Structure 1
């Protein structure tokens, strides 16, 4: 035993050396090789190793080793280095566990991308076919539910119908009045430019009146309904789906189509003729203001409208409007109930409702144009 006069043995200090012997690089470590020591020696050790392939890692004098030191030794060793294992049992066990862990972790190779146009086309076709089946199923379910409510109308939630009539119709009147007046003014001014060249400004009321009642009135009212009400339907039903309220209705034995879909579609169908009528009246008023600025009295404008406009023109436009409202309500409800579960589900549903509603609006308008032409109406 050391005498009290002898100084105590100093703790082992870390050391690193790099020597080349017989064409082989020896990297020697001694003392404790833990995280802080490995951090200090990392750049120096890698600089000494360089690109040499014949390397011997001498860790025989390492007295303490943790994951940081084992990571330094493993990064220096590569796949072909020779090892001199630590003589310390705990350090040797730490190094062995670290190397075994590295062997268990394998990089996942990305599968090779293959150009398969036929497979891609088939997948796209099948996806479109599944979407078509979903839409057909929703349409069939909606029609059957509506037919089942006809002999029992008391089962329909009339309070919901009135609420949606107010939201989709009454609250949309100011926007329809503004837009209708502006459209009438714009059409009258734009048509007056070519009409003036032929001295036919008196026929502006006929042009604007027929355009509004047969085409522009229902079409613009449908755009307003798709932007306001269709998106609102999709957002409301999409939120209920995300919050699992639709699933709760099914759990309670209630039909979501009868409770949520039919009242909204009925309200949008009933409100569209009223919106179209508001667009027509305000558009004609805006046209009358322009005609007054051109020097034509209201009596002359009314005479021209009475001479050329007929009840058939007005009825055709209002009938188209009812079908437009039916399509917009259906598209909005379908987009809401088919929404996903993610954070963007409600926004995507509202966007799909607006886009789908406008596309359906234009398609139906084209079909009615062909039908009216064939009927000579």
Structure 2
């Protein structure tokens, strides 16, 4: 082999230095990204803790705050019921189609499939679907409203008048989102099961009476289902509400940025609820996919 084909020591050293530089630069960027995520989570958790603290103080619920909370509950929860029930009815029909496939393919009985459907609805589908409805219908609107108030100088006016923006603007909206997700998840769960039974019995996929169908579900209801349901709805709803509020009040203050702020709030809130749902599933089930911890 000629000497021209053998890399020189200096060339090898430069290549090694470049590779190390790329490696450490990548590690630095990854570390900065992870630190930024941790800072964001800490900010959200801090605001959520302050919101809960203020909500349990009777002094916080002045007549203007109660008025804001009532209007937000009407818009976020009550007005969202028709949309939530429509989505739940479609999901119920889809669930029955899957159940019929399980019954035919695996030879399972309805008494074996009903508890599986109920647990998947209560623990996974209903909380997630309720969060999607609330974020899509109200979360984005909250961020847009607060961003517009910031651009118009209303937040500064409230602060100059001695009104705490945290108590008047953030707290009632976050609490309303949390309660709305919880209530809508209950409505969605009931709608899915009732619609699924009605459609399933009409097409012959379910061949038992409603009392037998409901009896199988009630006999398999566990305390963990309630804990899972409550934690997912309140934690996910709290994070979604705080993210939408923070994006609104932290906007640049220009009206032209309001659509961008609203879109960013919706994406970040959706990302948060999916991450929270996955984390809580891992914690409660004590396994990641099929790998059990311990």
Give your verdict on TM over 0.5: yes
More helix by percentage? 2
Query: Alpha-carbon deviation of 1:138?
Result: 6.7
Task: State the partner residue of 1:280.
Answer: 189
In the alignment, is the contact (CA less than 8 A) between 2:150 and 2:249 conserved in 1?
yes
Matches of 1:224 and 1:207, distance apart in 2? 24
More strand by percentage? 1
What is the TM-score normalised by the length of structure 1? 0.62
Task: State the partner residue of 1:267.
Answer: 176
Q: How does 1:133-172 map to 2 (within 5 A)?
A: 136=42, 140=46, 143-144=49-50, 146-147=52-53, 150-156=56-62, 157-172=65-80
Cα displacement string for residues 123-179 of structure 1 (whole angstroms, at most 9, x for unaligned residues): 997798678657745753564465356444354411211111111100011011111
Matches of 2:231 and 2:37, distance apart in 1? 30
Cα displacement string for residues 175-216 of structure 1 (whole angstroms, at most 9, x for unaligned residues): 111111111110111231132133324133222111111111
Q: How does 1:27-46 map to 2 (within 5 A)?
A: none
Task: State the partner residue of 2:211.
Answer: 299
Q: 1:189 aligned to 2:97? A: yes
Quickly say closer, same or farther: Cα 1:127–1:346, change in 2 above 3 A: farther
Quickly say closer, same or farther: Cα 1:148–1:168, change in 2 above 3 A: closer
Task: State the partner residue of 1:357.
Answer: 269
Matches of 2:34 and 2:119, distance apart in 1? 40
Matches of 1:359 and 1:343, distance apart in 2? 25
Q: Which runs of 5+ in 2 are unaligned?
A: 1-20
Structure 1 counterpart SS, 2:99: helix
Structure 2 counterpart SS, 1:207: helix
Larger radius of gyration, structure 1 or 2?
1
Q: Which runs of 5+ in 1 are unaligned?
A: 1-115
Structure 2 counterpart SS, 1:200: coil
Matches of 1:302 and 1:142, distance apart in 2? 37
Quickly say closer, same or farther: Cα 1:127–1:192, change in 2 above 3 A: closer
In the alignment, is the contact (CA less than 8 A) between 1:213 and 1:313 conserved in 2?
yes
Task: State the partner residue of 2:251.
Answer: 339
Task: State the partner residue of 2:9.
Answer: none
In the alignment, is the contact (CA less than 8 A) between 2:44 and 2:239 conserved in 1?
no
Q: 1:314 aligned to 2:230? A: no
Structure 2 counterpart SS, 1:281: helix
Q: RMSD between aligned alpha carbons?
A: 3.0
